[in-house]
Chain A
Amino acid sequence: DAKTTQPNSMESNEEEPVHLPCNHSTISGTDYIHWYRQLPSQGPEYVIHGLTSNVNNRMASLAIAEDRKSSTLILHRATLRDAAVYYCILRMVGNEKLTFGTGTRLTIIP
């Protein structure tokens, strides 16, 4: 699977938007971009995924660069419950597996 690069950690103030970046310069045309998050002492939770177009759901938005070499997960209004490790994962067509990197540890400041 193509590799992703994320900052190790980020901080954000409560009730402000958060932009979590992910670089994936070796992405192939059939790789989906998936985001998961893991709260402390829990299993990961699906957040959002996309291929080429920007995506919105009730949890977040995913902005995908035109060349697809980077993407940004946007939390529109962070709450304390959004404190977690966020993983950006590329998933190739035909590959069922998810390969987790080190992710970004997001801290929310009250």
Chain B
Amino acid sequence: GAVVSQHPSWVICKSGTSVKIECRSLDFQATTMFWYRQFPKQSLMLMATSNEGSKATYEQGVEKDKFLINHASLTLSTLTVTSAHPEDSSFYICSARTGAGSNQPQHFGDGTRLSIL
């Protein structure tokens, strides 16, 4: 089946550091990818929709200058958490669809656990 790969799996870094997370669709092309954030014991919250070759669409309350998204190819989207602070510590998850239409499933990466000290 379709595979989405995220890298790195976990990151620990100091406050003020910028962290880049990669999301790759390994066996299919994805014009649209999605970025979610999940705090402990909570559900997934959609942060933004990443569109290949154009600007990402951010959900209300998500700072676009804080969470930079680049989707430069049909198989790669990146999320950069700029000047990360402890409150940005979370589980970040990306997903991608294999085809168009709301009846198409999304395939998720295994997530990146970000810890800011």
Contacts and interface: CB of A to CB of B under 8 A. Distances in A.
A97 B49 contact: yes
Interface of B is mostly: strand
Main secondary structure of the interface of A (DSSP, over half): loop
Interface string A29-41: 0001010101001
Interface stretch (A60-68, A73-81, A87-95): A87-95
A32 B46 contact: no
Interface string B37-78: 000000111100100000000000000000000000000000
Interface residues of B, number: 25
Contacts of A94: 102
A29 to B, nearest CB: 13
Interface in A11-60: 32, 34, 36, 38, 41-46, 49, 51
B43 A43 contact: no
A49 B34 contact: no
B106 A98 contact: yes
Interface of B: 4, 6, 32, 34, 36, 43-46, 49, 93-95, 97, 101-103, 105-111, 113
Closest A-B pairs by Cβ, 9 of them: A43-B108, A46-B105, A100-B44, A100-B43, A43-B93, A91-B102, A43-B111, A44-B108, A93-B102
